[in-house]
Structure 1
Amino acid sequence: MASITIRNLDDQIKEQLRIAAAHNGHSMEEEARLILGRALATIDRAGGLGSRIRDRFRVCGGVELDLPERHEKASAVDFSE
């Protein structure tokens, strides 16, 4: 397992962490691990960039595009010229 050092942590945040840890019966270190784990778990569920862009602009409405039917299989672009 890896370890990190957090420098310049605000005294108030450290105190809140100490209180939360005591309230939950954990060490400050364990409480910090749990908080980081929960915070990062929500990022994974947010989806990829395209999904996040779609979600952000969903409230603006959408556009229906008439896409032509594809008759040939897509091929790679040739940049040799």
Structure 2
Amino acid sequence: MAALSIRDLDDSVKEMLRLRAARNGRSMEAEVRAILTSAVTEEPSPTDLFSALTERFAQLGGADLDIPARAARPRAADFTAQ
């Protein structure tokens, strides 16, 4: 197994780790191992906006929309100043 040293860890972070480890009945070292393992094994979040929004709101059930057929052909936007 590999060993890891963490330098310049803020004292308040160390204290929060100590308290979290105590709440979970583990040593600080075991707690840090659990946190790191969880962080690198969770599924990656979507990288594009559509996927992120779909995942975020999937639990709401979505919506079925009736989209009417186009009456006119689509045209390019006109950005000339008028």
- Which contiguous aligned blocks of 4+ residues in structure 1 show a shift greater than 3 angstroms? none
Cα deviation 1:39-65 (Å, max 9, x = unaligned) = 1112xx227xxx63xxx2316xxxxxx
State the distance in 2 between where 1:39 and 1:18 align: 18
Normalized against structure 1, the TM-score is what?
0.56
TM-score, normalised with respect to structure 2: 0.56
Matches within 5 A, 1:2-81: 2-42=2-42, 45-46=43-44, 52=47, 56-58=48-50
Can you list the C-alpha shifts for 1:16-44, whole angstroms capped at 9, x where unaligned?
000011111100000000001111112xx
Which structure is higher in helix share? 1
- Amino-acid identity (%): 45
User: Matched residue of 2:38: which SS?
Assistant: helix
1:34 partner amino acid: A
CA distance in 1, matches of 2:44, 2:11: 31
| Structure 1: gaps of 5 or more residues | 60-81
- Name the aligned partner's letter for residue 21 of structure 1: A
User: What are structure 2's unaligned runs of at least 5 residues?
Assistant: 54-82
